Amino acid sequence: EETGKGGYEHYMLKEIDSQPTSLRNTIKGRISPSGDDVDVDAFDPETLSEFSEVQFVACGTSYHAALYGTTLLNEAGVRARTYRASEYQMASDPVTEETLVVSVTQSGETADTLGAMRRASREGATVLTVTNVMGSSAARAADETVYIHAGPEIGVAATKTFSSQTVTLALLAQRLAAHMSGEREHRDLEPALDALTSLPDDLGRMLEGDDAERIANRFLGSDAYFFIGRGLGYPVAKESALKFKEITYEHAEGFASGELKHGPLALVTPQTPVFAVFTGEHDEKTLKNAKEAQTRGAPIVAVAKEGHPAIEATDAHLPIPDTDPMWSGLLANVQLQLVSYHAANELGRSIDKPRNLAKSVTVE
């Protein structure tokens, strides 16, 4: 087992550190040679143009990656929703032959997700799965499979697979939008694809820093940890909170920035740090929301690129490299994976096998 860890104390840190490589594998061959279009092999254009909406089904971390994909599809004018796979089976929302159901599952073995796929097929939808495992139950049950190529993940807490899912879903969303959306203007893809080719290197540089460990130690012993974000920063806030609670056993919650004032502010004290994710979009509003918590005494950690205006206005800074807003959430998420890791390590938790959790849950 020690050899498998390649000198690391935990698989989780090894897997976090391996993300430049796993991302390179995810991206390989998926940007067209001209550099301005995506090349994701899923259905022919004619089939795609027959779909009128996309329904994502997923659990846990994969659900948060699906939220990322949904946000990008909606923005491009495609009707899309994300469902908790366990709820989808009894949801009464219509599923028709024009529905494309996309299941997102690292393992391809999650019972709730497989159940949701069965419902979708039964009701006449076409099912695509986005998975990491060749020949998995999801890959066998789906009409079409897109692999994330992240390589095996051993740590129970998903890390590198979230990053690879996010990139795969972002590229898939562009392809779906190209054939499914009407007249809606699309995001200019070229800068995003350009930024994607340098993302693995950006990530590599970021991983050399020790900012996450410093921040983790500074806030250790707090009563609770909150994460906020907007747009593409929202799934990152949710995922970061999930990671934090999974491996530290501390109370952590992720909120849409704008929701803070509708309830969660009641929980805010000087003992509840708030990590605010700044993606480069809607940042002014997120900063305003963060300041509302700061006024109530909460220390604010700005997860933002160097030179960002939020840094001056907040209490601590967790830096991320400058990239296209489509990917800055992914970088923020990796920094926050490291914060969770270092906090859990300092607390002496069982990082690779947290209590009560399993890598793959094969019961409903």
Using the minimum distance from each CB to ligand G6P, give the nearer residue, 88 or 219.
88
**Do the strands 225-229 and 144-147 form a parallel or antiparallel pair, or are they unpaired?**
unpaired
Task: From residue 242, give the alpha-carbon distance in Å to each of 4, 74, 184, 249, 251.
Answer: 26, 24, 34, 10, 10
Using the minimum distance from each CB to ligand G6P, give the nearer residue, 154 or 347.
154
d(CA 207, CA 170): 23
Using the minimum distance from each CB to ligand G6P, give the nearer residue, 110 or 279.
110
Query: Quick check: 287 and 279 in contact, CB under 8 A?
Result: no
Q: Which residues of 115-151 are buried (b: 16+ CB within 10 A; e: fewer)?
A: bbbebbbeeebbbbbbbbbeebbbbebbbbbbbbbbe
Minimum CB distance to ligand G6P, residue 184 (Å): 30
Three-state SS letters, 183-199: CCCCCCHHHHHHHHHHH
Minimum CB distance to ligand G6P, residue 46 (Å): 30
Chain positions contacting ligand G6P, by CB under 6 A: 59-62, 105-107, 110, 113, 156, 158, 357-361
Is residue 353 part of the annotated active site? The answer reads no
Using the minimum distance from each CB to ligand G6P, give the nearer residue, 62 or 126.
62
Minimum CB distance to ligand G6P, residue 94 (Å): 25
Strands (E), the chain: 53-58, 79-84, 99-105, 126-131, 144-147, 225-229, 252-256, 274-277, 300-305, 316-320
Minimum CB distance to ligand G6P, residue 53 (Å): 22
Using the minimum distance from each CB to ligand G6P, give the nearer residue, 131 or 272.
131
Minimum CB distance to ligand G6P, residue 283 (Å): 28
Minimum CB distance to ligand G6P, residue 196 (Å): 22
What is the rounded end-to-end Cα distance, in angstroms, of the chain? 30
> Which residue number places its CB atom closest to ligand G6P?
60
Task: Residue 229: count other Cβ atoms within 10 Å of its Cβ.
Answer: 29
Cα 45 to chain center, whole Å?
Answer: 27
Using the minimum distance from each CB to ligand G6P, give the nearer residue, 101 or 215.
101
Residue tagged active-site, from 5, 291, 353, 359: 359
Burial class (CB in 10 A: 0-12, 13-18, 19+), 356: exposed
Active site positions, annotated:
359
